[in-house]
Copies of this chain bind each other. A is one copy, B any other.
Amino acid sequence: MASLPNGAAAGGSSAAHPVDKEVDFANYFCTYGYLYHQKEMLCDRVRMDAYHSSVFRNAPHFQGKVVLDVGTGSGILAIWSAQAGARKVYAVEATNMAEHARELARANGVADIVEVIQGTVEDVELPEKVDVIISEWMGYFLLRESMFDSVICARDRWLKPDGVMYPSHARMWLAPIRTGLGDKKIEDLDIAMEDWNLFVEDTQTCYGVNMNALTKAYRAEHEKYYLKSSIWNNLHPNQVIGKPAVIKEIDCLTATVDEIREVRAQVTLPISLDGARLSALAGWFDVHFRGSVRNPAVEEVELNTAPNEHGGTHWGQQVFLLTPHLKVSRGDNVNVSFSMVRSKENHRLMDMEFTYELHELSGRKHPAVTAKMYLE
Protein backbone atom coordinates (compact mmCIF):
# COMPACT_ATOMS: atom_id res chain seq x y z
CA MET A 1 0.00 0.00 0.00
CA ALA A 2 2.48 2.59 1.22
CA SER A 3 0.69 5.57 2.60
CA LEU A 4 2.21 8.93 1.77
CA PRO A 5 4.76 10.02 4.36
CA ASN A 6 3.41 12.70 6.63
CA GLY A 7 -0.12 12.00 5.45
CA ALA A 8 -2.60 14.61 6.61
CA ALA A 9 -4.42 13.42 9.67
CA ALA A 10 -8.17 13.65 9.48
CA GLY A 11 -10.85 11.94 11.48
CA GLY A 12 -11.43 12.65 15.10
CA SER A 13 -14.39 13.94 16.94
CA SER A 14 -17.37 16.16 16.28
CA ALA A 15 -18.76 18.94 18.40
CA ALA A 16 -21.81 16.78 18.99
CA HIS A 17 -19.79 13.79 20.20
CA PRO A 18 -17.41 13.73 23.12
CA VAL A 19 -13.82 14.41 22.08
CA ASP A 20 -11.61 11.30 22.04
CA LYS A 21 -8.53 12.62 23.83
CA GLU A 22 -6.16 10.07 22.34
CA VAL A 23 -7.30 10.92 18.82
CA ASP A 24 -7.03 14.61 19.59
CA PHE A 25 -3.48 14.08 20.75
CA ALA A 26 -2.61 12.15 17.60
CA ASN A 27 -4.23 14.77 15.35
CA TYR A 28 -3.37 17.97 17.12
CA PHE A 29 -1.07 18.19 20.11
CA CYS A 30 1.70 16.14 18.51
CA THR A 31 2.73 19.06 16.28
CA TYR A 32 3.60 21.14 19.32
CA GLY A 33 6.01 18.48 20.57
CA TYR A 34 8.59 19.57 17.96
CA LEU A 35 11.14 22.29 18.72
CA TYR A 36 11.13 23.02 15.00
CA HIS A 37 7.54 24.14 15.26
CA GLN A 38 8.11 26.04 18.52
CA LYS A 39 10.92 27.94 16.81
CA GLU A 40 8.60 28.94 13.95
CA MET A 41 6.36 30.64 16.49
CA LEU A 42 9.27 32.08 18.49
CA CYS A 43 10.65 33.65 15.29
CA ASP A 44 7.40 35.48 14.57
CA ARG A 45 8.50 38.99 15.57
CA VAL A 46 5.03 40.51 15.49
CA ARG A 47 3.78 37.82 17.86
CA MET A 48 6.84 38.02 20.11
CA ASP A 49 6.89 41.83 20.27
CA ALA A 50 3.21 42.02 21.14
CA TYR A 51 3.35 39.49 23.98
CA HIS A 52 6.68 40.85 25.26
CA SER A 53 5.31 44.40 25.35
CA SER A 54 2.03 43.27 26.86
CA VAL A 55 3.90 41.73 29.80
CA PHE A 56 6.69 44.23 30.42
CA ARG A 57 4.69 47.41 29.80
CA ASN A 58 2.11 46.10 32.23
CA ALA A 59 4.45 44.73 34.86
CA PRO A 60 2.09 45.82 37.70
CA HIS A 61 -0.28 43.11 36.51
CA PHE A 62 2.44 40.57 37.14
CA GLN A 63 4.42 41.85 40.14
CA GLY A 64 3.85 39.58 43.12
CA LYS A 65 0.98 37.88 41.27
CA VAL A 66 0.07 34.31 40.39
CA VAL A 67 -0.04 33.53 36.66
CA LEU A 68 -1.35 30.60 34.64
CA ASP A 69 0.09 30.03 31.16
CA VAL A 70 -2.21 27.79 29.12
CA GLY A 71 -0.24 25.74 26.56
CA THR A 72 3.16 27.09 27.51
CA GLY A 73 5.06 25.27 24.74
CA SER A 74 8.71 26.20 25.16
CA GLY A 75 7.73 28.25 28.20
CA ILE A 76 8.52 31.72 26.87
CA LEU A 77 5.40 33.47 28.22
CA ALA A 78 5.86 31.84 31.61
CA ILE A 79 9.49 32.95 31.77
CA TRP A 80 8.57 36.53 30.80
CA SER A 81 5.86 36.54 33.45
CA ALA A 82 8.44 35.49 36.04
CA GLN A 83 10.93 38.07 34.78
CA ALA A 84 8.23 40.74 35.08
CA GLY A 85 7.89 39.92 38.76
CA ALA A 86 5.28 37.17 39.14
CA ARG A 87 5.39 35.40 42.49
CA LYS A 88 4.35 32.08 40.91
CA VAL A 89 3.69 30.90 37.35
CA TYR A 90 1.88 27.66 36.55
CA ALA A 91 2.83 26.67 33.02
CA VAL A 92 0.62 23.93 31.63
CA GLU A 93 1.67 21.98 28.55
CA ALA A 94 0.16 18.77 27.16
CA THR A 95 3.09 17.58 25.06
CA ASN A 96 6.61 16.46 25.97
CA MET A 97 7.66 20.03 25.21
CA ALA A 98 6.94 20.44 28.94
CA GLU A 99 10.37 18.96 29.69
CA HIS A 100 12.06 21.57 27.50
CA ALA A 101 10.06 24.36 29.14
CA ARG A 102 11.27 23.14 32.54
CA GLU A 103 14.86 23.12 31.28
CA LEU A 104 14.48 26.62 29.88
CA ALA A 105 13.03 27.97 33.12
CA ARG A 106 16.00 26.47 34.96
CA ALA A 107 18.54 27.90 32.50
CA ASN A 108 16.94 31.34 32.86
CA GLY A 109 17.03 31.29 36.65
CA VAL A 110 13.26 31.22 37.22
CA ALA A 111 12.79 27.55 38.08
CA ASP A 112 11.69 28.52 41.59
CA ILE A 113 8.84 30.63 40.14
CA VAL A 114 7.81 28.76 36.98
CA GLU A 115 6.24 25.39 37.69
CA VAL A 116 5.75 23.43 34.49
CA ILE A 117 2.91 20.93 34.67
CA GLN A 118 2.56 18.35 31.91
CA GLY A 119 -1.08 17.67 31.18
CA THR A 120 -4.13 19.31 29.69
CA VAL A 121 -5.52 22.35 31.42
CA GLU A 122 -8.90 20.59 31.60
CA ASP A 123 -7.36 17.99 33.93
CA VAL A 124 -4.82 20.01 35.85
CA GLU A 125 -5.22 20.77 39.55
CA LEU A 126 -3.63 23.97 40.90
CA PRO A 127 -3.12 24.68 44.61
CA GLU A 128 -4.52 28.22 44.27
CA LYS A 129 -6.50 30.60 42.06
CA VAL A 130 -4.58 32.90 39.73
CA ASP A 131 -4.47 36.65 39.05
CA VAL A 132 -3.56 36.41 35.38
CA ILE A 133 -4.17 33.89 32.61
CA ILE A 134 -1.78 34.33 29.73
CA SER A 135 -2.01 32.18 26.63
CA GLU A 136 -1.16 32.25 22.98
CA TRP A 137 -4.15 30.27 21.83
CA MET A 138 -4.92 31.81 18.44
CA GLY A 139 -5.05 29.60 15.35
CA TYR A 140 -5.45 30.51 11.71
CA PHE A 141 -8.39 32.91 11.35
CA LEU A 142 -8.42 33.06 15.15
CA LEU A 143 -10.52 30.02 15.95
CA ARG A 144 -8.89 27.17 14.03
CA GLU A 145 -7.59 24.63 16.58
CA SER A 146 -10.45 25.52 18.98
CA MET A 147 -7.83 26.07 21.63
CA PHE A 148 -9.70 28.99 23.17
CA ASP A 149 -12.05 26.36 24.65
CA SER A 150 -9.18 25.34 26.92
CA VAL A 151 -8.52 28.95 27.91
CA ILE A 152 -12.19 29.39 28.81
CA CYS A 153 -12.04 26.21 30.88
CA ALA A 154 -8.90 27.45 32.65
CA ARG A 155 -10.52 30.84 33.31
CA ASP A 156 -13.69 29.36 34.74
CA ARG A 157 -11.76 27.00 36.97
CA TRP A 158 -8.81 29.08 38.14
CA LEU A 159 -9.10 32.85 37.53
CA LYS A 160 -9.80 35.02 40.58
CA PRO A 161 -12.94 37.22 40.28
CA ASP A 162 -10.83 40.31 39.57
CA GLY A 163 -8.24 38.46 37.49
CA VAL A 164 -7.15 39.53 34.00
CA MET A 165 -6.83 37.76 30.69
CA TYR A 166 -3.79 38.12 28.40
CA PRO A 167 -4.95 38.81 25.72
CA SER A 168 -8.21 40.36 26.86
CA HIS A 169 -10.03 40.80 23.53
CA ALA A 170 -10.04 39.30 20.06
CA ARG A 171 -11.66 40.15 16.74
CA MET A 172 -12.13 38.39 13.43
CA TRP A 173 -12.02 40.40 10.20
CA LEU A 174 -13.21 39.83 6.65
CA ALA A 175 -12.13 41.88 3.62
CA PRO A 176 -12.58 41.88 -0.16
CA ILE A 177 -9.28 41.24 -1.95
CA ARG A 178 -7.67 40.70 -5.34
CA THR A 179 -5.28 37.82 -5.83
CA GLY A 180 -3.99 35.59 -8.62
CA LEU A 181 -4.09 32.52 -6.38
CA GLY A 182 -7.40 31.33 -7.83
CA ASP A 183 -6.13 31.28 -11.43
CA LYS A 184 -3.30 29.01 -10.37
CA LYS A 185 -5.65 26.73 -8.46
CA ILE A 186 -8.08 26.47 -11.37
CA GLU A 187 -5.17 25.55 -13.64
CA ASP A 188 -3.99 22.94 -11.11
CA LEU A 189 -7.49 21.49 -11.00
CA ASP A 190 -7.67 21.34 -14.80
CA ILE A 191 -4.31 19.56 -14.95
CA ALA A 192 -5.42 17.11 -12.27
CA MET A 193 -8.60 16.31 -14.21
CA GLU A 194 -6.78 15.89 -17.53
CA ASP A 195 -4.44 13.53 -15.76
CA TRP A 196 -7.39 11.65 -14.29
CA ASN A 197 -8.99 11.28 -17.72
CA LEU A 198 -5.79 9.78 -19.13
CA PHE A 199 -5.69 7.44 -16.16
CA VAL A 200 -9.30 6.35 -16.81
CA GLU A 201 -8.42 5.56 -20.44
CA ASP A 202 -5.24 3.68 -19.50
CA THR A 203 -6.94 1.64 -16.81
CA GLN A 204 -9.65 0.57 -19.27
CA THR A 205 -7.13 -0.30 -21.98
CA CYS A 206 -4.46 -2.01 -19.90
CA TYR A 207 -6.41 -3.47 -17.01
CA GLY A 208 -9.98 -3.85 -18.26
CA VAL A 209 -11.59 -1.74 -15.54
CA ASN A 210 -13.77 1.28 -16.19
CA MET A 211 -12.91 3.90 -13.56
CA ASN A 212 -15.22 6.53 -15.01
CA ALA A 213 -17.79 5.95 -12.28
CA LEU A 214 -15.40 7.76 -9.93
CA THR A 215 -14.75 10.80 -12.13
CA LYS A 216 -17.38 12.91 -10.40
CA ALA A 217 -16.08 12.00 -6.95
CA TYR A 218 -12.50 12.64 -8.04
CA ARG A 219 -13.46 16.09 -9.28
CA ALA A 220 -15.35 16.83 -6.07
CA GLU A 221 -12.34 15.77 -3.95
CA HIS A 222 -10.05 17.98 -6.01
CA GLU A 223 -12.42 20.96 -6.12
CA LYS A 224 -12.52 20.81 -2.35
CA TYR A 225 -8.74 20.68 -2.18
CA TYR A 226 -7.98 23.36 -4.77
CA LEU A 227 -10.92 25.75 -4.64
CA LYS A 228 -12.87 25.24 -1.44
CA SER A 229 -10.04 24.98 1.06
CA SER A 230 -8.88 28.31 2.39
CA ILE A 231 -5.34 29.23 1.42
CA TRP A 232 -2.67 30.55 3.77
CA ASN A 233 -1.16 33.74 2.37
CA ASN A 234 0.66 36.83 3.53
CA LEU A 235 -1.17 39.47 1.51
CA HIS A 236 0.12 42.92 0.64
CA PRO A 237 -2.19 45.70 1.86
CA ASN A 238 -2.72 46.87 -1.73
CA GLN A 239 -4.49 43.58 -2.42
CA VAL A 240 -7.26 44.69 -0.10
CA ILE A 241 -9.74 46.46 -2.39
CA GLY A 242 -12.37 47.58 0.12
CA LYS A 243 -13.14 48.18 3.73
CA PRO A 244 -12.56 45.23 6.05
CA ALA A 245 -15.37 44.41 8.47
CA VAL A 246 -15.34 42.88 11.94
CA ILE A 247 -17.33 39.64 11.93
CA LYS A 248 -16.76 38.58 15.53
CA GLU A 249 -15.69 40.23 18.77
CA ILE A 250 -14.66 38.21 21.78
CA ASP A 251 -14.25 39.45 25.32
CA CYS A 252 -11.87 36.85 26.72
CA LEU A 253 -13.05 37.51 30.26
CA THR A 254 -16.68 36.61 29.58
CA ALA A 255 -16.84 34.55 26.37
CA THR A 256 -18.37 31.08 26.55
CA VAL A 257 -17.71 28.06 24.36
CA ASP A 258 -21.27 28.40 23.04
CA GLU A 259 -20.40 31.88 21.80
CA ILE A 260 -17.48 30.69 19.70
CA ARG A 261 -18.71 27.27 18.59
CA GLU A 262 -20.49 28.97 15.72
CA VAL A 263 -19.71 32.32 14.16
CA ARG A 264 -22.41 34.03 12.11
CA ALA A 265 -22.24 37.50 10.62
CA GLN A 266 -23.82 39.68 7.98
CA VAL A 267 -21.56 42.46 6.77
CA THR A 268 -21.33 44.91 3.92
CA LEU A 269 -17.91 45.35 2.36
CA PRO A 270 -17.68 48.65 0.44
CA ILE A 271 -15.33 48.51 -2.54
CA SER A 272 -12.80 51.34 -2.67
CA LEU A 273 -10.92 50.61 -5.92
CA ASP A 274 -12.08 51.23 -9.47
CA GLY A 275 -12.16 48.43 -12.04
CA ALA A 276 -10.92 45.85 -9.62
CA ARG A 277 -11.29 42.10 -9.70
CA LEU A 278 -12.87 40.73 -6.56
CA SER A 279 -11.34 37.28 -6.59
CA ALA A 280 -11.47 36.35 -2.93
CA LEU A 281 -12.34 37.31 0.59
CA ALA A 282 -9.61 37.27 3.19
CA GLY A 283 -9.92 36.57 6.87
CA TRP A 284 -7.60 37.51 9.72
CA PHE A 285 -7.71 38.52 13.37
CA ASP A 286 -6.32 40.86 15.95
CA VAL A 287 -6.11 40.57 19.71
CA HIS A 288 -5.70 43.27 22.35
CA PHE A 289 -4.13 43.32 25.77
CA ARG A 290 -6.26 45.81 27.69
CA GLY A 291 -6.47 44.19 31.09
CA SER A 292 -9.96 44.37 32.55
CA VAL A 293 -12.32 47.14 33.62
CA ARG A 294 -11.24 46.65 37.24
CA ASN A 295 -7.59 46.20 36.30
CA PRO A 296 -6.99 48.15 33.12
CA ALA A 297 -3.66 47.85 31.31
CA VAL A 298 -1.06 50.52 31.92
CA GLU A 299 -0.47 50.52 28.20
CA GLU A 300 -2.76 48.75 25.76
CA VAL A 301 -0.97 46.46 23.32
CA GLU A 302 -2.28 45.10 20.02
CA LEU A 303 -1.31 42.01 18.05
CA ASN A 304 -2.60 42.49 14.51
CA THR A 305 -2.37 39.91 11.74
CA ALA A 306 -3.86 42.09 8.98
CA PRO A 307 -1.96 42.40 5.67
CA ASN A 308 1.13 44.46 6.41
CA GLU A 309 3.71 45.73 3.97
CA HIS A 310 6.47 45.47 6.58
CA GLY A 311 6.09 41.71 6.82
CA GLY A 312 3.52 39.37 8.14
CA THR A 313 3.04 36.87 10.88
CA HIS A 314 3.19 33.10 10.82
CA TRP A 315 -0.63 33.21 10.88
CA GLY A 316 -0.77 35.13 7.59
CA GLN A 317 -4.30 35.56 6.32
CA GLN A 318 -6.76 32.94 5.12
CA VAL A 319 -7.87 33.45 1.53
CA PHE A 320 -11.33 32.22 0.51
CA LEU A 321 -11.53 32.07 -3.29
CA LEU A 322 -14.61 33.35 -5.07
CA THR A 323 -15.05 31.42 -8.31
CA PRO A 324 -15.88 32.93 -10.66
CA HIS A 325 -14.53 36.31 -9.59
CA LEU A 326 -16.54 39.56 -9.84
CA LYS A 327 -15.68 42.82 -11.55
CA VAL A 328 -16.16 45.60 -9.00
CA SER A 329 -15.66 49.34 -8.74
CA ARG A 330 -15.44 52.02 -6.10
CA GLY A 331 -18.84 52.60 -4.54
CA ASP A 332 -20.04 49.03 -5.09
CA ASN A 333 -21.00 47.04 -2.02
CA VAL A 334 -20.56 43.35 -1.40
CA ASN A 335 -23.04 41.95 1.11
CA VAL A 336 -21.72 38.84 2.79
CA SER A 337 -23.51 36.36 5.01
CA PHE A 338 -20.93 34.29 6.80
CA SER A 339 -21.19 31.25 8.98
CA MET A 340 -18.50 29.06 10.46
CA VAL A 341 -19.01 25.85 12.42
CA ARG A 342 -16.64 23.17 13.59
CA SER A 343 -16.04 20.26 11.27
CA LYS A 344 -17.96 17.12 12.19
CA GLU A 345 -14.85 14.99 11.71
CA ASN A 346 -12.46 17.15 13.72
CA HIS A 347 -13.63 19.85 16.09
CA ARG A 348 -10.41 21.83 15.59
CA LEU A 349 -11.11 22.43 11.87
CA MET A 350 -13.82 24.68 10.45
CA ASP A 351 -16.57 24.44 7.85
CA MET A 352 -17.70 27.78 6.47
CA GLU A 353 -20.43 29.08 4.25
CA PHE A 354 -20.32 32.40 2.42
CA THR A 355 -23.27 33.93 0.62
CA TYR A 356 -22.16 37.02 -1.27
CA GLU A 357 -24.12 39.46 -3.34
CA LEU A 358 -22.77 42.38 -5.34
CA HIS A 359 -24.75 45.64 -5.28
CA GLU A 360 -23.32 47.96 -7.89
CA LEU A 361 -23.24 51.71 -7.30
CA SER A 362 -25.48 51.93 -10.38
CA GLY A 363 -28.19 50.10 -8.46
CA ARG A 364 -27.74 46.83 -10.32
CA LYS A 365 -27.93 43.81 -8.00
CA HIS A 366 -26.15 40.59 -8.95
CA PRO A 367 -27.68 37.30 -7.86
CA ALA A 368 -26.44 35.95 -4.54
CA VAL A 369 -23.88 33.16 -4.70
CA THR A 370 -23.37 30.64 -1.92
CA ALA A 371 -20.06 28.85 -1.45
CA LYS A 372 -18.88 26.34 1.11
CA MET A 373 -15.28 26.65 2.27
CA TYR A 374 -13.09 24.59 4.55
CA LEU A 375 -10.38 25.72 6.95
CA GLU A 376 -8.25 22.61 7.43
CB of B26 within 8 A of CB of A3, answer: no
CB of B42 within 8 A of CB of A203, answer: yes
CB of A37 within 8 A of CB of B207, answer: no
CB of A71 within 8 A of CB of B199, answer: no
Contacts of A28 on B, CB cut-off 8 Å?
A: 3
Beta-carbon contacts under 8 Å, A97-134 to B? 100, 103-104, 106-108
Beta-carbon contacts under 8 Å, A208-265 to B? 208-214, 217-218, 221-222, 225, 232
Contact of A208 among B6, B12, B83, B196 (CB under 8 A): B83
**A222-B36 in contact given A80-B209, A137-B1 (Cβ < 8 Å):** yes
Q: Does A7 contact B (CB under 8 A)?
A: yes
Closest to A203 in B: B42
Q: Does A298 contact B (CB under 8 A)?
A: no
Give the number of chain A interface residues (Cβ < 8 Å).
Answer: 77
Give the copy number. Answer: 2
**A206-B48 in contact given A8-B6, A31-B7 (Cβ < 8 Å):** yes
Q: Does A171 contact B (CB under 8 A)?
A: no
Interface 9-mer from A138-146, A272-280, A331-339:
A138-146
**A36-B221 in contact given A26-B23, A139-B3 (Cβ < 8 Å):** yes
| A74 CA to B199 CA, complexed, in Å | 14
Q: Does A63 contact B (CB under 8 A)?
A: no
Q: Does A371 contact B (CB under 8 A)?
A: no
Closest to A376 in B: B5
| A6 CA to B106 CA, complexed, in Å | 33
| A3 CA to B214 CA, complexed, in Å | 33
CB of A7 within 8 A of CB of B30, answer: yes
**A31-B4 in contact given A36-B221, A79-B209 (Cβ < 8 Å):** yes
CB of A107 within 8 A of CB of B212, answer: yes
Q: Does A147 contact B (CB under 8 A)?
A: yes
Contacts of A218 on B, CB cut-off 8 Å?
A: 35-36, 39
CB pairs A–B below 8 angstroms (12 shown): A2-B144, A4-B37, A4-B40, A9-B9, A9-B26, A9-B30, A10-B30, A12-B26, A36-B222, A43-B199, A103-B213, A108-B210
